[in-house]
Amino acid sequence: MNQVDLVIRGARVVSDHQIIEASVAIDGEIIVAVGHDDLMPSAREVLQADGLFLLPGAIDSHVHFRDPGYPHKETWKTGSAAAACGGVTTVFEMPNTNPPTATIDALNLKLKAAESSYVDFGIHGLLGDDTVGHLEELIDAGVTSFKAFVGNTFGNLPSPSDGALLEGFEKLAPLGIRTVVHAENSSILARRQKRMQAEGRIDALAHLAARPVVAEIEAIGRVLTLAEWTGARVHIAHHSAADSLFLIREAKRRGVDVTVETCPQYLLLNTDHADHLGGILRLNPPIREARHNQPLWDAMMDGTIDMIATDHAPHAPDEKTRANIWECDCGFPGIETQMALMLTEVNRDRASLMDYVRWSSVNPAKAWGIYGTKGVIAPGAHADIAVVDMNKSGILSENELQSISKISPWDGRAVKGYPIHTLLRGRFVMRNGKLVTEAAGWGRSVKGIQAMPKAKPLNTEHYTSAILKTPEGVRLTAEPKR
């Protein structure tokens, strides 16, 4: 082999099923060899990584980069810089921007903004009543997947009617495209919030009271019913409750193609933290009681929940710290802290590094059809690598975040285990803990490498598209009764 660009030696390489001592050779954007150091080609650069671990870069299925529309909260450049510094090499970005990603023009605005990205990306287009008629056009123009805001949240996009959701699934099932669902029942949330506001409740816990577990159970049940009927692929966003896990378990047992994410905040935070965090903790679905934390963790271990995402939802600090809970924006940044938080739990023996790689990289890559090129450190794959120091300790600080949103519930939390270098397609986007600013714009869409598994549409004879024309031989009007 000719001289290659980079060899990383001395580290251990982690996949979802093994950890091996191996060197990794990278040429251009691609991993060209993984194996014994004696077998490595000569390289222009050597990264000595003794004692460190090489993880496939994290793939975050749920981020809000706010661009276009809210650049005071975040931009593609700052959000993706946060990703790079958090060991995240691919993000899937949400459509509740302004304008929402519901038209080709809006999508093009977003793709333009994403040209400054440090990391690779997919774009979730909006699935709503107004977009059902042109989902294919959005796919052709670059969306990788869709998002349905079945529960109301930041941006106040109207929830799709059940009719539109069903028709959307009918259109996407034959294409094999997956839809992310924010699964809460909008009408329950809206009514409860209004009732509490009328009575003057403005405390931090009022937000949780407005969004009870039953709203999540109901919405997940409804979405899974429509997905099973149509054969559509769905992805449950930010799963928050122990009580709705039975629905996922049952659906998976029945063969529904449902993938599920949860986030560090649902695993590690609970209402015991509400007192001192107040509005900072406000997000959708809400942070719940402590009894939910361990069952969510167990569900990650047993495969009911497939992956870790962050719901990176940045807002300006003053938008998060108002006295009245209803005036605090929902969500907080998370993309830069996810890996350190989760590695800390690995260091506490709550999971193995292989479990973590399955949640952070392998399963998201499979869900979005990019596994093989991403999600794995192997010859032929993109050289997307988080170089991790499991012995590095520190205290998370909101002031050090790359995100514009310097407000975080994790501020002051002790962690052990950090990404210290991040490579995206062979290029350092973070090095020695520092953002490589020249790498802005190196990120690109994963659309070109996306290959979803074969679609499995069901009940197609009952699809809307199949019932629009009167069948031959059927009378147009009923026989009048004599």
Nearer to ligand NCD, 184 or 257 (CB): 184
Half-sphere exposure of 303 (CA within 13 A, CB side): 6
Binding-residue pattern over the window 337 to 376 for Zn ion, x denoting contact by CB under 5 A: ----------------------------------------
Nearer to Zn ion, 178 or 182 (CB): 182
The residues in 354-383 that bind ligand NCD, with binding defined as CB under 6 A, are: none
Nearer to Zn ion, 182 or 382 (CB): 182
Q: Using CB under 6 A, pick the residue from 313, 376, 381, 407 that binds ligand NCD.
A: 313
The residues in 267-286 that bind ligand NCD, with binding defined as CB under 6 A, are: 283-284
Q: Using CB under 6 A, pick the residue from 182, 211, 288, 421 that binds ligand NCD.
A: 182
Q: Residue 249 is which amino acid?
A: R
Q: What residue 313 binds from Zn ion, ligand NCD, none (CB within 5 to 8 A, per partner kind)?
A: ligand NCD
| 312 sits near Zn ion (criterion: CB under 5 A) | no
Surface-to-core class of residue 273, CB atoms within 10 Å of its CB (0-12 exposed, 13-18 middle, 19+ buried):
middle
H-helix or E-strand spanning residue 138: helix 135-141
Spatial neighbors of 292 by CB under 8 A, at least 6 apart, are 240, 241, 242, 266, 270
Q: Rounded to an integer, what distance in angstroms lies between the CA atom of residue 153 and that of residue 254? A: 30
Q: Which residues pair with 289 in a beta bridge?
A: none
Q: Using CB under 6 A, pick the residue from 330, 353, 385, 424 that binds ligand NCD.
A: 330
How far is the CA of 108 from the CAs of 81, 92, 96, 444, in angstroms?
21, 16, 15, 14
Q: What residue 331 binds from Zn ion, ligand NCD, none (CB within 5 to 8 A, per partner kind)?
A: ligand NCD
CB of 131 vs ligand NCD, minimal distance in Å = 18
- How is residue 353 written in tokens? 């590094």
Q: Which residues pair with 385 in a beta bridge?
A: 56, 423
Nearer to ligand NCD, 241 or 283 (CB): 283
Q: How many residues does the chain have?
A: 482
CB of 365 vs ligand NCD, minimal distance in Å = 21
CB of 440 vs Zn ion, minimal distance in Å = 28
Strands 414-424 and 385-395 come out as antiparallel
Nearer to ligand NCD, 154 or 371 (CB): 154
| 96 sits near ligand NCD (criterion: CB under 6 A) | yes
Q: Is the dihedral angle over the CA atoms 246, 247, 251, 252 positive or is it negative?
A: negative
| 179 sits near ligand NCD (criterion: CB under 6 A) | no
Nearer to ligand NCD, 94 or 138 (CB): 94
CB of 330 vs Zn ion, minimal distance in Å = 9
Q: Rounded to an integer, what distance in angstroms lies between the CA atom of residue 127 and that of residue 124? A: 9
| 147 sits near Zn ion (criterion: CB under 5 A) | no
**CB of 138 closer than 8 Å to CB of 104:** yes
| 262 sits near ligand NCD (criterion: CB under 6 A) | no
CB of 330 vs ligand NCD, minimal distance in Å = 3
| 124 sits near Zn ion (criterion: CB under 5 A) | no
Nearer to Zn ion, 258 or 440 (CB): 258
The residues in 30-89 that bind Zn ion, with binding defined as CB under 5 A, are: none
CB of 229 vs ligand NCD, minimal distance in Å = 25
Q: Using CB under 5 A, pick the residue from 64, 66, 73, 182 that binds Zn ion.
A: 182
Lookup result for tokens 């259109």: 171
| 331 sits near ligand NCD (criterion: CB under 6 A) | yes
Angle between helices 186-198 and 213-230 (to 10 degrees): 160
The residues in 152-171 that bind Zn ion, with binding defined as CB under 5 A, are: 153
Number of residues located near Zn ion, criterion CB under 5 A = 2
How far is the CA of 104 from the CAs of 107, 145, 221, in angstroms?
5, 14, 32
Residue nearest to Zn ion (CB): 182
Q: What residue 12 binds from ligand NCD, Zn ion, none (CB within 5 to 8 A, per partner kind)?
A: none
Q: Which residues pair with 92 in a beta bridge?
A: 122
Nearer to Zn ion, 285 or 369 (CB): 285
Q: Using CB under 6 A, pick the residue from 101, 153, 179, 405 that binds ligand NCD.
A: 153
Which three-class secondary structure state does DSSP give residue 243? Answer: helix
Q: Rounded to an integer, what distance in angstroms lies between the CA atom of residue 253 and that of residue 255? A: 5
Q: What residue 384 binds from ligand NCD, Zn ion, none (CB within 5 to 8 A, per partner kind)?
A: none
Q: Rounded to an integer, what distance in angstroms lies between the CA atom of residue 52 and that of residue 189? A: 46
Q: Rounded to an integer, what distance in angstroms lies between the CA atom of residue 59 and that of residue 372? A: 13
Q: Using CB under 6 A, pick the residue from 167, 311, 336, 384 that binds ligand NCD.
A: 311
Q: Is the dihedral angle over the CA atoms 300, 305, 309, 315 positive or is it negative?
A: negative
Q: What are phi and psi of 336, to 5 degrees?
A: -85, -15
Binding-residue pattern over the window 41 to 70 for ligand NCD, x denoting contact by CB under 6 A: -----------------------x------
CB of 150 vs ligand NCD, minimal distance in Å = 10
Q: For residue 243, how far is the Cα from the chain centroid? A: 22
Closest to 76 (Cα-Cα) out of 136, 117, 17, 125: 117
Number of residues located near ligand NCD, criterion CB under 6 A = 11
**CB of 307 closer than 8 Å to CB of 360:** yes
**CB of 56 closer than 8 Å to CB of 386:** yes
Q: Kindly list the residues in this chain that would bind ligand NCD in the complex (CB under 6 A).
A: 64, 96, 153-154, 182, 283-284, 311, 313, 330-331
